[in-house]
Amino acid sequence: MAAAPAASISIKPPLDMTLRLKLSVMMFLQFAIWGAWFVILGNYLKGLDPQKFTDGVIGGIYGTMALGTIFSPLIVGQIADRFFASEKLMAVLHFAGAGLLYWMGHIHEPTTFYFVSLVYALVYSPTLALSNSIAFAHVPDGNRDFPGLRVLGTVGWIVVNWIVGLLLTFKTSANTPVVPNAPFLLGSACSLALGAFSLVLPHTPPPGKAGDAFPFLKAIGLLKDFSFAVFFGVSFVITIVLAFYYGFTGLYLEKGVHLSVESITPVMTIGQFAELLLLPFLPWFLKRWGMKWVLAFGMLCWGIRYGLFSIYAQADAVALYPLVLIGIALHGICFDFFFAAGFIHVDNKAPADIRGSGQALFTFLTYGVGMWLGNMVSGQLADFLTNPSTKAVDWGMFWMLPAIGVLICFAVFIVFFRDSQRKAEV
């Protein structure tokens, strides 16, 4: 009987509804901005000029987002940890991003597009870590509350992709979309909206002190924990193969054998619908399976997805098209069980004064270096596997290689990762 009061004290209060609404809108717009143009980018660039925008060039342009994630969050993350409120940084960055996205929608030259998209990436990328930091700073229980907020980001991604798909469906007599730059115009509008909304987000002051050592350097000290280092290392490698999906699934759906999908963005949202359904149950899976097996299952599904894409491409049978749809649907498990859970794992392990930089470090290694390498490799691989006469990509081999890479990562993770409840020491 004496243990009952202690148990009741450990129960954390529910998330305030007004705060939930604000953080949910933040997540909705944060991923609506990205989803509006990122999925359809390769198809959009091919439509501008397939001779100028080759697969290698497209891979490089996709890689700008990763380059922005490499450099910008390292600075912005430690600024948020030491000097300025996160919500004010969010406002400034999204206002700037709105103008850059609008500009991107009016560029038709590869070099100019590359550099403007790189500047945009430097502006947008740090807001991914900032939005996570704002959410974790104000929720009573990150494991319980974060998935319910992050799911609104998935809703935002789905909504804008359907809007873009509908806008690109309306075509002129020349069979070109009435609003060909709709992805960038919509992304710009969402960025402007989030810039304004950031000004009413809950105040999130820097947790560190101005006299402290750079929080990012302290965050690197998290890697002294062997299992945490394994987690970061595997996350880095797994994101290299993730870039294959983001950069080339749209082109695969449009140009693959027996595919020729026209409404690409709505089809791609099958993955986000699966993510939407699963994310609210992530706390249950974390409690039931534990962090290790949730992460491992998410990782394994990546390999299964690429394997299904490869099987369909090599089978050359339209009856197996459901394999492609299943592969897209697996994105929900891949993202929820690895990346959403991964951000929770970082928040659980990082000391309070460097959580912002801990999130920035995870973003740096995954959406940054890993994604950049993946974009470079996938673009060059697609060019290498393109038949010079038919201009067709050997999609079977293109998807088989990342599937093998995922299985290797999965094996390493299972053998070496050990989870513990204690904070990592820095």
The CATH code of the domain that includes 285 is: 1.20.1250.20
Q: Which residue has the higher pLDDT, 45 or 143?
A: 45
Q: What is the pLDDT of residue 75?
A: 67
Contacts 24+ apart (CB under 8 A), 382-390: 382/55, 382/56, 382/59, 382/248, 382/251, 383/54, 383/55, 383/56, 386/55
- The string of DSSP letters for 359-404 reads HHHHHIIIIIIIHHHHHHHHHHHHHHTB-TTT--B-HHHHHHHHHH
- Give the pLDDT score at 80: 60
Q: Taking all residues of the chain, what is their mean pLDDT, rounded to a whole number?
A: 83
What number is the average pLDDT over the span 194-211? 80
pLDDT band of 421, cuts 50, 70, 90: low
Angle formed by the axes of helices 226-255 and 264-278, nearest 10°: 150
Mean of pLDDT values over 166-180 = 70
Q: Is pLDDT above 50 for 337?
A: yes
Residue from 413, 408, 419, 147 nearest 296 by CA: 413
pLDDT of residue 404: 93
Is residue 423 assigned to a domain? no
Residue 425 is assigned to a structural domain of this protein: no
Q: What is the pLDDT of residue 308?
A: 94
When divided into structural domains, the chain yields a total of: 1
Shortest CA distance to 387 belongs to which of 260, 257, 258, 240?
257
More confident residue, 206 or 266: 266
205 part of a folded domain: yes
- Choice between 410 and 222, residue whose per-residue pLDDT is larger: 410
Distance CA 18, CA 334 (A): 31
Which structural domain range is residue 102 located in? Answer: 18-416
Residue 95 is predicted with a pLDDT of: 97
Q: 3-state DSSP call for residue 10?
A: coil
- pLDDT of 2 reads 43
The predicted pLDDT at position 186 comes to 94
Given a cut of 60, whether residue 169 has pLDDT beyond it is: yes
Q: Is the pLDDT of residue 165 over 90?
A: no
pLDDT digits (tens, 9 = 90+) for 54-112: 888 988 898 898 888 777 756 665 666 667 788 898 999 999 999 999 999 999 999 99
**Rounded Cα–Cα distance for residues 365 and 29 (Å):** 24
pLDDT tens-digit readout, 266-320: 888 898 888 888 877 888 898 899 989 999 999 999 999 999 999 988 886 677 7
For position 3, what pLDDT does the model report? 46
Residue 338: inside a domain: yes
Whether 11 maps to a domain, the answer reads: no
Tally the C-alpha atoms within 13 A of residue 172's C-alpha that lie toward its C-beta: 6
Let me know if residue 426 belongs to a domain.
no
| 1: in domain | no
Instruction: Please give the pLDDT value at position 84.
Output: 76
In this predicted structure, the answer to whether residue 208 has a pLDDT above a threshold of 70 is no
Give 321's pLDDT tier (boundaries 50, 70, 90): confident
Residue among 276, 265, 255, 378 nearest 336 (CA):
276
Classify 171 as helix, strand or coil: strand
Whether this prediction's pTM lies above 0.95 is answered by no
13 occurs within a structural domain: no
- pLDDT tier for residue 4 given thresholds of 50, 70 and 90: very low
The pLDDT assigned to 23 comes to 94
Mean pLDDT of 22-42: 93
Residue 213 above 50 pLDDT?
Answer: no
For residues 168 and 180, the answer to whether their CB atoms sit within 8 Å is yes
- Rounded to an integer, the average pLDDT of 237-264 is 80
Say if residue 7's pLDDT is above 50.
no
